[in-house]
Amino acid sequence: MSEKKTAANKAIQIERRRLLIDATMSAISEHGMSGLTLAKIAKEAGLSAGSVNFHFDSKESLLLETLNCVAKEFEHGIDLAIAQSEEDPAAKLLALMEASLDPSVTEPRKMAVWYAFSAEARSRKDYQRICGTQDQKILNLTHQFCREIIRKGEKDSQMNALAMANAVQGLVDEIWQEMLFAGDNYDRENSRYLYLSFLASVFPWCFAPPEQVGLRGTSLSTADKSLRIVVADESHIGEVAKLFDLYRQFYNEPSNLKLARRFIGNNVRQQRSTILLALDKEGGALGFAQLYPGWCSLAAAPLITLYDLYVDKEARQRGVARGLMAAAEKVAKKAKACRIDLETDTDNHQAQALYEKLGYERDTAFYKYSLALGD
């Protein structure tokens, strides 16, 4: 029994440490290093301030562990991508670049953490050791692959491998900075077109020019009418049902278009919800949001639950989700709602970044409970 209890306690401690590291990333992203306090980290984690000192000796040890966590995840992602790529040096260089720009690595919080620590590294040897070691390893790998590519093309007398490696990493750094500032609006497809074009221009014997990015990569906006947000009526049931079926599949439900059409049709006809539909200039459906009315007893006022938000994968990273969220806010204000409530997966960092950028605050004061009822 004591062994089981010890194992359970250890599991709890590991989870608490993970929560605190995750909260530190969020707090750094929101407040920066200069505004960071243990109280803010504890609040973000939903734990007491005393629990931080129980799991970490000091604020500095927590910060170091957070930096180590981000660095190890980045390093693991790159090592895995290179190991799984073909033996050709061009394939390994491309795998390195794509792993460096992978959404799981470049989600806004982690990028904010890395830049915050890199800035502090100028005066901190411990930060400099972690950041510097990581940067040097990536540069060495890039240099190795560039050298092998140049040798393969018999260009040794014309090209300097180290100079090319620095150019490659300079491009990655530039894309990272653009991602950090653009956030959810960053066009990843266009960035991929950019670095593939660069590789094709400097190593044409290994890389072919990419296909031109078309309209799929352009941003959409209600301001220039390239994006329209409408309240769905009976004429839109078919379009919304298709998106709703894809939305359910995203959450691992089996495709059932008949069920989707019946459910959405009933919601529209009986006005059980407000469904916002995003359309392009040609009237093509791009995504939807579904809002349910409710009440807040404490505020004695209406509230809106944004239960569903989905954007077709061909239209993502183009401002559609942001447009739907803005329209949802207008609907809520018109209904004189006191707030909008929503939920998202704990690992859906891209959605979390969008919500927090729009002013939504993560609830750390209450637990959510559900009781599944049988048929």
pLDDT of residue 213: 43
Give the range with max mean pLDDT: 70-74, 175-179, 340-344, 358-362.
340-344
Measured in degrees and rounded to the nearest 5, phi and psi for residue 252 equal 65, 25
- Would you say how long the chain is, in residues? 375
pLDDT of residue 142: 93
pLDDT of residue 9: 58
- State the Cα–Cα distance between residues 105 and 176, nearest whole angstrom: 10
**Sheet with 227-231: strands ordered across:** 227-231, 274-280, 285-296, 301-311, 340-342
- Tokens 């502090």, residue located: 120
Q: Quick one: average pLDDT of 251-274?
A: 96
pLDDT of residue 211: 60
User: Model confidence at 183, in pLDDT bands (50, 70, 90)?
Assistant: low
**CATH number of the domain at 57-213, out of 1.20.140.10, 3.10.20.30, 1.10.357.10, 3.30.950.10?**
1.10.357.10
**Domain segments of the chain: what residues?**
57-213, 227-357
**Domains 57-213 and 227-357 equal at CATH topology level:** no
pTM summary value: 0.50
List b or e across 180-216, with b for residues whose CB sees 16 or more CB atoms inside 10 angstroms: eeebbebbbeebbbbbbeebeebbeebbeeeeebeee
Mean pLDDT of the chain: 84
3-state secondary structure string, the chain? CHHHHHHHHHHHHHHHHHHHHHHHHHHHHHHCCCCCCHHHHHHHHCCCHHHHHHHCCCHHHHHHHHHHHHHHHHHHHHHHHHHHCCCCHHHHHHHHHHHHCCCCCCCHHHHHHHHHHHHHCCCCHHHHHHHHHHHHHHHHHHHHHHHHHHHHCCCCCCCCHHHHHHHHHHHHHHHHHHHHHHHHHCCHHHHHHHHHHHHHHHCCCCCCCCCCCCHHHCCCCCCCCCEEEEECCHHHHHHHHHHHHHHHHHCCCCCCHHHHHHHHHHHHHCCCCEEEEEEECCCCEEEEEEEEEEEECCCCEEEEEEEEEEECHHHCCCCHHHHHHHHHHHHHHHCCCCCEEECCCCCCHHHHHHHHHCCCCCCCCCCCCCCCCCC
User: Which of these, 295, 323, 292, 296, lies nearest to 305 by C-alpha position?
Assistant: 292
Whether residue 344 is predicted with pLDDT greater than 70 in this model: the reply is yes
Both structure tokens of 178? 């653009």
pLDDT of residue 39: 81
pLDDT tens for residues 81-112? 888 888 889 999 998 888 888 877 777 777 77
- State the Cα–Cα distance between residues 281 and 102, nearest whole angstrom: 31
User: Model confidence at 216, in pLDDT bands (50, 70, 90)?
Assistant: very low
Q: Quick one: average pLDDT of 135-155?
A: 92
Q: Could you tell me if 307 and 264 are in contact, meaning their C-beta atoms sit under 8 angstroms apart?
A: no
User: Model confidence at 144, in pLDDT bands (50, 70, 90)?
Assistant: very high
- State the Cα–Cα distance between residues 178 and 71, nearest whole angstrom: 20
Q: Quick one: average pLDDT of 218-225?
A: 79
Helix pair angle (89-100, 188-202), 10° resolution:
150
pLDDT tens for residues 345-370? 876 766 777 787 788 888 878 888 88
Q: Which value, to the nearest 10 degrees, does the dihedral of the CA atoms of residues 154, 156, 157, 162 take?
A: 150
Whether residue 272 is predicted with pLDDT greater than 90 in this model: the reply is yes
The residues with which 231 forms a beta bridge, in sequence order, are 276
Instruction: Name the amino acid, one letter, at 372.
Output: A
Q: Could you tell me if 172 and 194 are in contact, meaning their C-beta atoms sit under 8 angstroms apart?
A: no
Class of domain 227-357: alpha beta
Percentage of residues in the chain having pLDDT higher than 70: 89
C-alpha to C-alpha distances, 71 to 115, 176, 217, nearest whole angstrom: 12, 15, 30
pLDDT tens for residues 224-233? 788 999 999 9
Give the range with max mean pLDDT: 100-104, 121-125, 183-187, 304-308.
304-308
- Tokens 């491309």, residue located: 94
